[in-house]
Structure 1
Amino acid sequence: MTELSTRRLVTRLLLVVVTMFAFGFALVPIYDVMCQAFGINGKTAGAYQGSQAEDATRQVRVQFLATNAAGMNWEFRPEADDITVAPGASNQMLFVAANPTDKPMTAQAIPSVSPSKAAAFFHKTECFCFTQQVLQPGERIEMPVRFIVDRDLPADVRHLTLAYTLFDVTARIPPHAQAKR
């Protein structure tokens, strides 16, 4: 190789490294834009501060979905498929989980709200997703989610979906921590 071709190769390799770094850095904003464009993976609003008067003139349908991640074999479902709520009112839905295995298991639920533009107006005041759930073999529990649909929800949004995916996180907990539970 000549000195000129070596220089070109080094320049090209450096350009590839810089491009890869820039692409990796841009992945999070690209992901957020894609989620916004396709209306997926809406993250719920943060902790709800304050209170609102109920807007009885408006009704919003809230649908509930429960799915298990790969490898999670709990029974997991909402008590009802959907409810109709008034913005500003406090609401509750129970989710039921059961561990049909012969081992204690720990699970974590990850929520998502769609459409994504409505996620900022969905406030969970209490949720089983805030903590990990530990169930003994054959144990069944009812887990509440309490929420408020904000009065400032855009008027064109008449239907929200609150979806949970339940993950088995038993293997991620150190054995000494599992013994204390």
Structure 2
Amino acid sequence: MAEPRDLQRKMQRTVLACVGIVAGMGGLAYASVPLYDLFCKVTGFAGTPIVREGNAANVMDRTISVRFDANVSPGLRWTFQPETPEVKVKLGETTTVLYKVTNTDTKPSTAIATYNVQPDLAGTYFSKLECFCFTEQTLQPGETVESAVVFYIDPRLVKDGDVKDLSSITLSYTYFPSKGGQPVAEAAAPATKPIVQ
């Protein structure tokens, strides 16, 4: 009689362990996106620039070119461009570049800009002090707004064997339609039309 009871307890433990594993995996999957985003912002991984409060870096004589790329997702009728396509900056030097965005649509629209740095490994050294990214903006028809990005390239770049000889970095922004402070991928995708036969 003791064997069926032991077998029943073992099966209950196995079921509980499996339920616990599935629940844990579900929790990790749910938390993975915000955790990955936080990891990228803290480490500069995947070309994510580091956000800093101030610039305590020493300015070096070494210069590097910073290129600016501006994009607008399909479905958003905005024009978007930097004041200059490229600047040469000294490592550690605080630099401000303006971008101009215009709503060319006949109705108000809301969008949000995301960014990255290329090459990816340079993200750790691209330090933003001020940026318009991840801030939802609503523009009226024909309205134009200028926004600034203030940044510096951390001089520690010269000590990193993977990027010490880097001569240029590209900062790329893309505006997406947004709702509630989040990019809306569905709004950017073209509507599918039914096939008529």
Normalized against structure 1, the TM-score is what?
0.70
Equivalent position SS for 1:153: helix
Unaligned runs of 5+ in 2: 1-20, 38-44, 159-163, 182-197
Q: 1:125, 1:149 → 2: CA distance? A: 11
- Segments of 5+ residues of structure 1 without an aligned counterpart are 1-17, 33-39, 174-181
- Equivalent residue letter for 1:165: T
1:6-17, aligned counterparts within 5 Å?
none
Aligned residue for 2:150? 146
Structure with greater Cα Rg: 2
Match for residue 177 of structure 1? none
User: Structure 2 vs 1, CA of residues 73 and 139 (structure 1 numbering), >3 Å: closer, same or farther?
Assistant: same
Structure-1 residue corresponding to 2:15: none
Helix, strand or coil for the counterpart of 1:117? Answer: helix
Q: Please give the root-mean-square deviation of Cα atoms over the aligned residues, in Å.
A: 3.6
Q: Is residue 46 of structure 2 the alignment partner of residue 46 of structure 1?
A: no
Partner of 1:162: 171
Aligned counterparts of 2:55 and 2:46: Cα–Cα separation in 1? 26
Match of 2:107 among 85, 103, 106: 103
SS in 2 for 1:98: strand
Letter paired with 1:44 = P
Q: How many residues are aligned here?
A: 165
Q: Using the alignment, how far apart are the partners of 1:101 and 1:172 within structure 2?
A: 20
Question: TM-score, normalized by length of structure 2?
Answer: 0.65
CA gap 1:43/1:145 in 2 versus in 1, 3 angstroms: same
Q: Which amino acid aligns with 1:166?
A: Y
| One of 79, 82, 91 as aligned partner of 2:83 | 79
> Deviation of residue 71 (structure 1)?
1.4
Q: Distance in 2 between matches of 1:42 and 1:121?
A: 10
